[in-house]
Amino acid sequence: MPDRMESLVRGAAEVLPAGELERKLALGRPLRVKLGIDPTAPDIHLGHTVVLRKLRDFQDAGHVVVLIIGDFTARVGDPSGRSELRPMLSVEQIDANARTYQEQAFKVLDASKVELRRNREWIDKLTADDMAGLMARYTVSRMLERNDFSARYAEKRAIHLHEFLYPLLQGYDSVALECDVELGGTDQLFNLLVGRDLMGKYGKRPQIVMTTPILEGTDARVENGQIVGKKMSKSADNYIGIQEPPEEMFRKAMQIGDDVVFRFFELLSRRTNEEIATLKADKTAGRNPMEIKALLARELVERFHGGEAATQAAREFDRVYSKDAVPDQVPVFEVAPTGVAEVAWALKQANLVASTSEARRLIEQGGVEVDGVRMTDPRHPLEPGREYLVRVGSKNRKFARIRVKGV
Amino acid sequence: MPDRMESLVRGAAEVLPAGELERKLALGRPLRVKLGIDPTAPDIHLGHTVVLRKLRDFQDAGHVVVLIIGDFTARVGDPSGRSELRPMLSVEQIDANARTYQEQAFKVLDASKVELRRNREWIDKLTADDMAGLMARYTVSRMLERNDFSARYAEKRAIHLHEFLYPLLQGYDSVALECDVELGGTDQLFNLLVGRDLMGKYGKRPQIVMTTPILEGTDARVENGQIVGKKMSKSADNYIGIQEPPEEMFRKAMQIGDDVVFRFFELLSRRTNEEIATLKADKTAGRNPMEIKALLARELVERFHGGEAATQAAREFDRVYSKDAVPDQVPVFEVAPTGVAEVAWALKQANLVASTSEARRLIEQGGVEVDGVRMTDPRHPLEPGREYLVRVGSKNRKFARIRVKGV
């Protein structure tokens, strides 16, 4: 039992209220674990799959996943974290998005263990009386406590009244389906808690709330020991879409920084905690970070395109990119020419070659690149005041940055 | 036309936007003039009839009155001017109240010229989508601009979300019925303007908004040239219910202060402006204020109980109350006894009788009352430090207050 609990909470940001999940699990019956998704965007990227993977953990532990396609709520639009009103989507758009979303979600979830619902099923039945009754169960000030709403209110940016409906209706989904647990990203915490509150007010047993972290983009980096970077999104162009071709997916995964790759393992991989710990130890022991990253890339491609596609994507990556791959840490050498800094001379100055004549030979053999351009002329001048990325050798290649001092 | 306009705006507090009513009237077609009433309280008092009388003015000028019984909105409860949430009424309660209200309203309105509707007719048809669409047309900050809401929000008293529905649904009534003018008390200004806004947002021609003053209670008085007093209400016990028996209604009308009686004429009477001006001149010329008040009392009783009942009520009032009626202005006399202040002695001291023996004789004949109690003993002591209301004589009776100085 403690083992099962550990795998269920791995990577979760918050589980509220404390101790409640243990108590529910102890009942020994399958729990109803809800995720509400709004088919507002047709394509899912890996950021969306963090919570899906968490749902999958519940499925693997024998629980029932209730996946709610918010075909009504999508029309209202979730104002969470939004600084402005979202446009209302047309019914056709939502329908098309819902189908795509569903297909994609089933690449992470075990479709045979999903209770798939659309919330128009019960929201369309709500009368004006029901809506008034729902609204009567919540106060304006509680709504305005929400960060995004309070900021918009304080800054006099319009909040339209129907935006208040969103958390209420998402919460009403839990009332209608009597869920035990609701999952969502950390940006959904308020909405999930509204659901919990409402269940109590409708005389139901309030759900447990579990949030998962918001995944950063492939451009995330570590600064002062902290992961920094925008969340993964199409608009920031730092996403890996789960519909992308295998090669594209693999290539994008390999762009993830060496420092942050374990964040992606924790939130995306289905490897056990022990396996991930082993990989971390391997890295510390000097294993090539690119190899470790390739394991993640393979796993992701395999999940969405199958094993064969993953093998091919890895091979293709090796062929096309590996020789050009630049490691994260590149030594920097400063050279101080008295006259023109010829490239062969600079390579020797930076100790990348044993002698200027070796440099010339390498250049003539096509074994030197400067800023991605293959050198042909050993006397090619490097400009003072600039820094160049230099690759030397094609098999046991070395990388360096050469900074040319001004004269 | 200007004459008709004058009678339509007489006694109105605000007509918005300026000039619009004239333009609409110039169209020459009957206007649709809306009043929405919530059957929250079963009994109508004269305060409620101010706006009904104004509607009657429109009827008399050939317009169509659209009377909406808010059988849906009553359930939500109008938060206007409320410092707290109103309890939701049961459907049965609302139904019973609606029937009573309707009956009573038709004592002021010409029932043959009323389009009587209940707003569940269209609100019950609203789907969750329609409700979201309605809410999308208004913002939170516009709602919170309303005085009662902003006060409650600032003071951290709960505003429940469904309270925001009230103005929207009242406004939606205008959208559904395409009204030209909506009437309401001054406390309804915000709601009426929401209706106007919404009509524009639904592509309808926005209604004109007309408010009528809130009538004070029968205990209103003039202070520093201003009418002061709580609004007429059952809870302040300063109301005249239109279902009250003729005698009760007459008696209560006669309690209205002489100074404020013309406020009641303006807001309640169906007399013309000229007739009211004549009465004012009469009063200035010294006509007994009680006579003028009796004209109002008769008119009101006649409206709700018929002419014969009014005549009887007036006669009954004369018989029972007139001899006991205390004028507004009563002279005050101070008496300074050296020992016990006997009542006969005090009457002489206050010059209410020519001599103490006349006082004794009057008392023995039952012609003297002190604080409403008939005196039998001329030597009855008046206590030092107190003030007594004294009536002397039964036909040509005099009133005075006698203040007994402390010894």
Nearest to B156 among A123, A129, A141 (CB): A141
Predicted confidence at residue B192, as pLDDT, reads: 96
Nearest to A139 among B127, B135, B158 (CB): B158
The answer to whether the beta carbons of residues B128 and A124 sit under 8 Å apart is yes
| Per-residue pLDDT at B41 exceeds 80 | no
Predicted confidence at residue A161, as pLDDT, reads: 93
The answer to whether the beta carbons of residues A91 and A169 sit under 8 Å apart is no
pLDDT in tens, A104-140: 889 889 999 999 999 999 999 999 999 999 999 999 9
- The burial of A374, by beta-carbon neighbours within 10 Å (0-12 exposed, 13-18 middle, 19 or more buried), is given as exposed
Tell me if B160 and A168 make a contact (CB, 8 A cut-off): no
Predicted confidence at residue A279, as pLDDT, reads: 94
Predicted confidence at residue B323, as pLDDT, reads: 56
Predicted confidence at residue A94, as pLDDT, reads: 81
Q: Which two tokens stand for residue A188?
A: 């959904």
Tell me if B159 and A168 make a contact (CB, 8 A cut-off): no
Tell me if A158 and B141 make a contact (CB, 8 A cut-off): yes
- By three-state DSSP, how is residue A370 classified? strand
Question: Pairing relation of β-strands A181-185 and A114-118?
Answer: unpaired
* Of residues A348 and B374, more confidently modeled: A348
DSSP string, A342-376: EHHHHHHHTTSSSSHHHHHHHHHTT-EEETTEE--
Task: Give the residue on A whose Cα is nearest the Cα of B85.
Answer: A136
Within 8 A of B134 by CB-CB distance, chain A residues are 162
Task: Give the residue on B whose Cα is nearest the Cα of A87.
Answer: B136
Task: Give the residue on A whose Cα is nearest the Cα of B155.
Answer: A141
Within 8 A of B75 by CB-CB distance, chain A residues are 129, 132
Residue A253 near chain B (CB below 8 Å) = no
| Per-residue pLDDT at B178 exceeds 80 | yes
Task: State how far residue A332 is from chain B, nearest Cα, in angstroms.
Answer: 57
Within 8 A of B198 by CB-CB distance, chain A residues are none
**In the 3-class helix/strand/coil scheme, how is B284-336 assigned residue by residue?**
HCCCCHHHHHHHHHHHHHHHHHCHHHHHHHHHHHHHHCHHHCCCCCCCEEEEC
Predicted confidence at residue B329, as pLDDT, reads: 67
Tell me if A140 and B153 make a contact (CB, 8 A cut-off): yes
Q: Which two tokens stand for residue A245?
A: 């071709």
Which residue matches tokens 């199958």? A306
| Per-residue pLDDT at B2 exceeds 50 | no
Task: State how far residue B200 is from chain A, nearest Cα, in angstroms.
Answer: 17
- The burial of A191, by beta-carbon neighbours within 10 Å (0-12 exposed, 13-18 middle, 19 or more buried), is given as buried
DSSP string, A69-100: E-TTHHHH---TT-SSPPPPPPHHHHHHHHHH
Residue A135 near chain B (CB below 8 Å) = yes
pLDDT in tens, B48-59: 999 999 999 999
Residue B201 near chain A (CB below 8 Å) = no
- By three-state DSSP, how is residue B174 classified? helix
Q: How confident is the model at residue A245 (pLDDT cuts 50, 70, 90)?
A: very high
pLDDT in tens, B304-344: 999 999 999 998 888 766 655 566 567 888 888 888 889 99
Task: Give the residue on B whose Cα is nearest the Cα of A144.
Answer: B140
Lowest mean pLDDT among A163-177, A378-392, B54-68: A378-392
In whole angstroms, give the CA distance from residue B404 to residue B407: 9
Q: Which two tokens stand for residue A278?
A: 């082993």
Query: How much is the average pLDDT of A48-59?
Result: 93
Tell me what the pLDDT averaged over chain B comes to.
88
| Per-residue pLDDT at B96 exceeds 80 | yes
Task: Give the residue on B whose Cα is nearest the Cα of A124.
Answer: B128
Biggest distance spanned by C-alpha atoms of chain A: 89
Nearest to B140 among A139, A161, A169 (CB): A161
Query: How much is the average pLDDT of A194-219?
Result: 96
Residue A183 near chain B (CB below 8 Å) = no
The answer to whether the beta carbons of residues B399 and B360 sit under 8 Å apart is no
Predicted confidence at residue A231, as pLDDT, reads: 92
Task: Give the residue on B whose Cα is nearest the Cα of A153.
Answer: B141
The answer to whether the beta carbons of residues B85 and B152 sit under 8 Å apart is no
pLDDT in tens, B129-177: 999 999 999 999 999 988 889 889 888 888 999 999 999 999 999 999 9
In whole angstroms, give the CA distance from residue A61 to residue A55: 10
pLDDT in tens, A255-313: 899 889 999 999 998 888 889 999 999 999 888 888 899 999 999 999 999 999 999 99
Predicted confidence at residue B74, as pLDDT, reads: 82
Task: Give the residue on B whose Cα is nearest the Cα of A90.
Answer: B129
Predicted confidence at residue A2, as pLDDT, reads: 47
Residue A144 near chain B (CB below 8 Å) = yes
Tell me if B161 and A135 make a contact (CB, 8 A cut-off): yes
The answer to whether the beta carbons of residues B107 and B53 sit under 8 Å apart is no
Within 8 A of A153 by CB-CB distance, chain B residues are 140-141
Q: Which two tokens stand for residue A106?
A: 């089933």
Tell me if A160 and B135 make a contact (CB, 8 A cut-off): yes
| Per-residue pLDDT at B14 exceeds 90 | yes
In whole angstroms, give the CA distance from residue B18 to residue B26: 14
| Per-residue pLDDT at B85 exceeds 70 | no
Predicted confidence at residue B127, as pLDDT, reads: 95
- B residues 3-42 near A, CB within 8 Å? none
Tell me if B128 and A124 make a contact (CB, 8 A cut-off): yes
| Per-residue pLDDT at B280 exceeds 80 | yes
Query: How much is the average pLDDT of A168-184?
Result: 96
- By three-state DSSP, how is residue A51 classified? helix
The answer to whether the beta carbons of residues A167 and A143 sit under 8 Å apart is yes
Query: How much is the average pLDDT of A42-54?
Result: 89
Tell me what the pLDDT averaged over chain A comes to.
88
Predicted confidence at residue A88, as pLDDT, reads: 65
In whole angstroms, give the CA distance from residue B248 to residue A126: 48
Query: How much is the average pLDDT of B182-208?
Result: 95
pLDDT in tens, A319-373: 766 655 566 567 888 888 888 889 999 999 988 898 999 999 999 888 888 876 7
The amino acid sitting at A18 is A
In whole angstroms, give the CA distance from residue A187 to residue A214: 8
Question: Pairing relation of β-strands B32-37 and B14-16?
Answer: unpaired
> What are the backbone angles phi and psi of residue B401, rounded to the nearest 5°?
-110, 135
Angle A261-268/A46-60 helices, nearest 10 degrees? 50
Report the share of chain B in percent with pLDDT over 70: 92
Tell me if A135 and B165 make a contact (CB, 8 A cut-off): yes
